[in-house]
Amino acid sequence: MGVAVPRRYISIEDLATARGVDPAKYTLGLGAREMAVAEPGEDTVALAALAAKRALDATGHRELGMLVVGTETGVDHSKPVASYVHGLLGLPTTMRVFDTQHACYGGTAGVMAAMEWIASGAAAGRAALVVCSDIARYGMRTAGEPTQGAGAVAMVIAQDPAMLELDVGISGAASTHVHDFWRPLGQREAQVDGHYSMQCYTEALATAYRGWKTRAIARELVRGDGLASEQLAQICYHVPFCKMARKAHVQVRQCDASDAGIADTDAAVAASFTQQVEPSLSACSRVGNIYTGSLYLALLGALDIGGRALAGKRVGMFSYGSGCTSEFFSGVVGARAADMVERAQLAGVLADRERITIDEYERIMTLVTPMGQPGPFLFTGVAEHRREYARG
Ligand code: HMG
C-alpha cells in the first residue's frame, strides 16, 4: 500500500472555535482531530499518482496488467484519472486502465474487479494497481464542514499477497436507490442529507454484513454460534468521520445478538469496539473523510498499530458508497504484513505536514487555480483544454 495526503491540515478544535461550536462536538461527537486541506494543485490525479508511486516503490517492481482508480472527484467527464496516473508514472502500454465510480465505494469496485480478475486466472501472473483518490468538500459553515478531508491510498493486488489475502467469493452486498449524498454535475460541493445518510449506511451494513456472515459460516471461516463478529481480529469500516465507525460497530453487534438470540451489553459492545475497531481510526481522525480511500486508510491504520500480532488473523471490512451500494468482505493478514506496513511510512507521511490557520484554510477553499508550489506531482493548470501536471 501507499498513501498520499495534502501537505496542509487544520486542527479540528481550531475549526470549532472559529465556528463558535463547542470543540467537544467535533472531537467527541464526531471523533475528529485534524482535517486535511488540499489546494487546487493537489488534485485527485496528483494525490493518486503520489500514492501509486509509493505503493509501487514499497512493493517492488511487478508486471502490471490493470490500473483502476476509484474516485468520485474525477477531473474530466471522459478521460479517467487513471489515464493521467498511467502517463505520469510511465506505466506499460499493454494494460487495462480505467476509473470506477460509485461515491465512496468506487475504490472497492476496483479492488473486487482486480481480485476476481486474478482469481479467474485471466491475470496470468500479472498484478493490478488499484488507487482510491478523492477530495471531500461540503463547503464552509455547513454541518458537513468538519467531515471534509482529502487523500489517496494505492494498493498492489497480486496472486501472492504480502499484507492481506482477501477471501474470494463470500462478500455480502447491499444496494438501494437513495438520495443520501450526491454531487450534481458542475458542483464542487456535495449535497447531503446528513442524518439520513447515517441511517442509509447502517441499514446497508446490516444487509451486507448478514450476506457475508451467511457465506462465511457456510465456508466454515467463522462459527455460526455466538457473535460471529467477535471472531474477526479487526473490523475496518468506511470512515466518513470516526464516530460513524462506532455506530457501525453497534449495528454489527445488534445483528449478531439478534441472529443468535443473545442479549448483548453496552459494556461488551464498548470493549469490543476498543479492541476490534479503535486501532483503525487513528490515521482517519487525522485526515478526515477521503471518500474512496477511507476504508483502506482505516485498514492501513489497523495493520500499522496491530503489527505482527495480527498475522494469520481474519479482518472484516465494510465499504459504503452513498446512493447507495456497499459490501462487507474479509481477508487474512499476511505473515509479511508488518514489514509492508512499515514501508508505507504512514506516521512519516502524516508528520510531514504543515498545520495552517483557519484563515489560511478559508483562503485555500476559495482558490480555483494552483498555488504553484513544488511537489512530487502537481496540477499546474489548463492549456488548450488540457490539464497539465508537473513532476517535482
Ligand atoms: P450535525 O447535525 O451538525 O451534528 O452534523 P449532530 O447534531 O448530529 O452532532 C454530531 C454528534 O456530536 C452527535 O453524536 C451529538 O450528540 C454530538 P451522536 O448522538 O450521533 O452520537 N455532540 C456533542 N458531543 C460532545 N459535546 C458536545 C456535542 N454536541 C453534539 N458539545 C453530520 C453531523 C454527520 C450529519 C454532518 O457532519 C454531515 O452531514 N456530514 C456529512 C455526511 C456524512 O458524513 N454521512 C455519513 C454516512 S454517509 C457516508 O459515509 C458516505 C460518504 O462518505 C459519501 C460517499 O459515499 O461518497 C459521506
- The pLDDT tens digits of the residues spanning 131-177 come to 999 999 999 999 999 999 999 999 999 999 999 999 999 999 999 99
pLDDT at 182 over 90: yes
- Is the link from the previous residue into 324 a cis peptide, with omega within 30 of 0? yes
Nearest CA to 49 among 100, 101, 115, 3? 3
Whole-number Å distance between alpha carbons of 36 and 23? 18
Whole-number Å distance between alpha carbons of 121 and 36? 40
The response to whether residue 326 sits with its C-beta less than 6 Å from ligand 1 reads no
Contacts (Cβ under 8 Å, ≥6 apart) of 295: 104, 107, 108, 236, 237, 238, 239, 317, 318, 319
Q: Which domain holds residue 314?
A: 2-391
Band (78; pLDDT cuts 50, 70, 90): very high
The response to whether residue 198 sits with its C-beta less than 6 Å from ligand 1 reads yes
- Match 469500516 to its residue by C-alpha cell: 237
CATH number for the domain spanning 182: value is 3.40.47.10
Q: How far is CA 32 from CA 13, 23, 47, 112, in A?
A: 9, 10, 22, 29
Q: In residues, how long is the chain?
A: 392
Look at the chain and report how many structural domains it folds into.
1
Which residue's alpha carbon is nearest to atom 30 within ligand 1? Answer: 25
The pTM of this model reads 0.98
Nearest CA to 123 among 63, 198, 166, 42? 63
Angle at 151 between CA 383 and CA 239, to 5 degrees: 140
pLDDT at 240 over 90: yes
Whole-number Å distance between alpha carbons of 129 and 354? 29
| Residues with active-site annotation | 72, 104, 238
The response to whether residue 195 sits with its C-beta less than 6 Å from ligand 1 reads yes
CB 124 within 8 A of CB 94: no
> Is the C-alpha dihedral spanning 220, 223, 229, 234 positive or negative?
negative
CB 129 within 8 A of CB 177: no
DSSP one-letter code for 14: H
Quote the ligand 1 centre to 194 CA distance (angstroms). Answer: 7
Band (9; pLDDT cuts 50, 70, 90): very high
